[in-house]
Amino acid sequence: MNRIFTSLLIKTIGFYINFLSYVFPKKATKLAYKFFSEPREGRLKPNLIPEVLQEAEIEFISLDNHNFPIYFWKGNENKVLLVHGWESNAARWEPFLPYLKKHGSSIIALDGPAHGLANGVEFNVPQYAAFINHVVQKHRPQVIIGHSIGGSACLYFQHRYNSPYLQKMVLLGAPSDLEILLTNYVNLLGLNTKVLQQLNHFFSQRFNIKVEEFQGKLLASTLQLDGIISHDVEDNVVAFTESKKIASAWKKAAFIETKGLGHSMHDQALYQQIEKFLFTA
């Protein structure tokens, strides 16, 4: 019953946006982008922070009217930055932390825009990349690891800012093409071609990004650091072929195919492979 209700609600929203696109196109675009960019899960309440994050030192950073937390597990001079994905938060890295802690690494994690303890209601990759850049400039990690859309943000960050501090990058279940994400969203709501065109124009004006040109393989082709790209063949959130596109252009990255992990990518064997990559010269 809940699935039927949710499906009807989604289609109703899509019908309303389609109607607005003919009479109030700007309002339709604003509403379509709102549903595309506002996460519904992943928030944390200050009085209900997961135990793993309570063990870290927490610092809030301000950037362009946004406040977001970074979590520290202090260790040696080797620093690793962890970047979560859509409708998640820094606590998602709990299963992976022991693999970094046993080598004494200093671990840094952040909550992305409109996630965890960060303020705001809007999430987008350029803004997330700006958050990442602020943290990298301040703390100079040698390694960055991103999951899902967090992986896309890592990819865009290094392409956009070309940090000299990073030596290695790991992407887990990362989407590649903005056009595919947008098309899937349009199909989910049953939006018409007019709305899709308006959204494309919105991205061009707001972020100076052409949707059809925001491709992982184009971003990855500029990377000079070593990397790992891993994706599960049974991922039902982000298509396996998305990471293959990134891998096809990133010359210094190894590809690890998994099966049975789904989108979470939590797995002892995979983490051991990443550990070996990070801590073997």
Give 22-52 pLDDT, tens digit per residue. Answer: 999 999 999 999 999 999 999 999 999 999 9
Spell 34-61 as b/e; 16+ CB within 10 A means b. ebbeebeebebeeeebeebbeebeeeee
Average pLDDT over residues 100-126: 96
Q: Is the pTM of this model over 0.85?
A: yes
Which is more confidently placed, 5 or 9? 9
pLDDT band at 91 (very low <50, low <70, confident <90, very high): very high
Does residue 179 register a pLDDT over 80? yes
Alpha carbon of 230 to those of 23, 121, 242, 253, 264: distances in Å?
45, 30, 11, 10, 11
Query: Is residue 213's pLDDT more than 60?
Result: yes
pLDDT surpassing 60 at residue 1: no
pLDDT of residue 5: 62
Does CATH place domain 38-177+215-279 in 3.40.50.1820? yes
Average the pLDDT over 186-195 and give the result: 94
Rounded CA separation 108/264 (Å): 20
CA distances from 145 to 98, 100, 135, 201 (A): 15, 12, 14, 31
Q: From residue 205, how far is each of 79, 104, 156 by CA, in Å? A: 36, 45, 18
Both structure tokens of 27 = 């309002």
Q: What percent of the chain has pLDDT over 70?
A: 98
pLDDT band at 185 (very low <50, low <70, confident <90, very high): very high
Return the residue matching tokens 């699935």. Answer: 3
Q: 240 has which bridge partners?
A: none
